[in-house]
């Protein structure tokens, strides 16, 4: 009875839900920081990577899961977004979209790098630049590997853990919460902006927000976090593999330098990206309508005693 009252109060109070999540996040993050500090003090790149991985788990993976298990009685992981996608082809489309949209991402990165505040806000510009340089130094240290074991560790820490954790937090918790309260396009844009801002790398804000938009739309369209997790993994994993191949001397490419592409390529990439999202959006609506039609048919046949229960036919995997 007390549990039901607690859950009812949470449903009725946005403030209570936000407060609860922040408490969980604070406790989990403090534990993660303490353990991470101990690992990093041990020295070496291994300690840095293990510490970074653990920090990501405690900050982005643990809080969403704990929050959903506290606030929901059943199907917690499904509610969080770890549901079966509307169609397997959306997974492939999402992964391909990471490469199709790359010219747009690179162009946004170039524009962002050339933005400077100046004047009375020069101190803020200097502060953001110092933060960017510090983050870039840590990233470069983590990516500077030329062994297969180092590659696998980077794929685990930089690609897999980051993809799972950030999608659970920013799409599973944040975007779904916003979507229930506002227009889905506004919710996707707002969650993408917060996703980019939280990284505190302001000279990469625009390309990272663009990435957040792609992840947000494909999550919303496919109704599954597995789609955006795969996309996020492909994005981060590609950078990890390219750095590894460059370090090994297999490819002669400056991975960190963004080359300026002809605007024709950028425009074609933008048009293709938008077209794919629009087509996927329309196709997903058709799939939802077909699914609803099947559910109504199942319900009618179940009422006639010719089929099993509705739940038996419509409940997706955990």
Mean pLDDT per 10-residue interval, the chain, length 318 residues: 60 77 93 83 77 91 94 90 87 95 92 79 77 79 89 95 96 95 95 92 90 97 95 95 91 72 92 96 82 54 41 32
Residues 58 and 136 in one domain: no
Asked if 179 contacts 220 with a C-beta cutoff of 8 angstroms, the reply is yes
Residues 137 and 51 in one domain: no
Range of the domain at 4: 1-73
pLDDT of residue 303: 47
Tokens of 212: 């957040």
pLDDT of residue 38: 80
Domain tally, the chain? 2
pLDDT of residue 187: 96
pLDDT of residue 271: 97
Residues 274 and 172 in one domain: yes
Residues 109 and 224 in one domain: yes
With a CB cutoff of 8 Å and minimum separation 6, the contacts of 256 are: 136, 140
pLDDT of residue 285: 84
From 73, 94, 121, give the residue that closes a domain: 73
């Amino acid at each position: 009875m007390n549990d039901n009252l607690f859950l009812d109060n949470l449903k009725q109070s946005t403030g209570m839900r936000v407060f609860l999540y922040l408490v969980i996040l604070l406790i989990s993050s403090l534990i993660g920081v303490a353990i991470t500090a101990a690992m990093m003090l041990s020295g070496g790149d291994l300690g840095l990577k293990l510490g970074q991985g653990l920090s990501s788990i405690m900050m982005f993976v643990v809080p969403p899961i704990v929050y959903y298990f506290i606030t929901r009685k059943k199907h917690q992981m499904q509610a969080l977004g770890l549901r079966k996608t509307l169609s397997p082809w959306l997974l492939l489309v999402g992964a391909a979209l990471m490469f199709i949209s790359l010219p747009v991402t690179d162009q946004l990165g170039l524009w962002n790098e050339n933005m400077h505040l100046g004047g009375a806000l020069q101190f803020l510009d200097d502060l953001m630049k110092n933060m960017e340089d510090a983050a870039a130094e840590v990233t470069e240290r983590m990516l500077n590997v030329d062994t297969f074991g180092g590659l696998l560790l980077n794929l685990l820490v930089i690609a897999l853990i980051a993809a799972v954790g950030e999608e659970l937090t920013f799409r599973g918790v944040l975007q779904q919460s916003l979507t229930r309260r506002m227009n889905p396009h506004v919710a996707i844009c707002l969650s993408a902006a917060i996703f980019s801002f939280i990284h505190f790398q302001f000279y990469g804000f625009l390309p990272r927000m663009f990435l957040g938009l792609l992840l947000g739309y494909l999550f919303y369209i496919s109704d599954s976090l597995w789609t955006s997790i795969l996309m996020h993994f492909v994005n981060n994993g590609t950078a990890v593999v390219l750095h590894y191949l460059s370090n090994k001397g297999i490819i002669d490419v400056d991975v960190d330098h963004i080359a300026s592409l002809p605007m024709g390529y950028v425009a074609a990439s933008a048009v293709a990206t938008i077209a794919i999202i629009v087509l996927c959006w329309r196709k997903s609506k058709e799939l939802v309508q077909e699914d609803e039609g099947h559910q109504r048919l199942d319900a009618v046949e179940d009422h006639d005693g010719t089929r099993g229960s509705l739940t038996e036919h419509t409940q997706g995997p955990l």
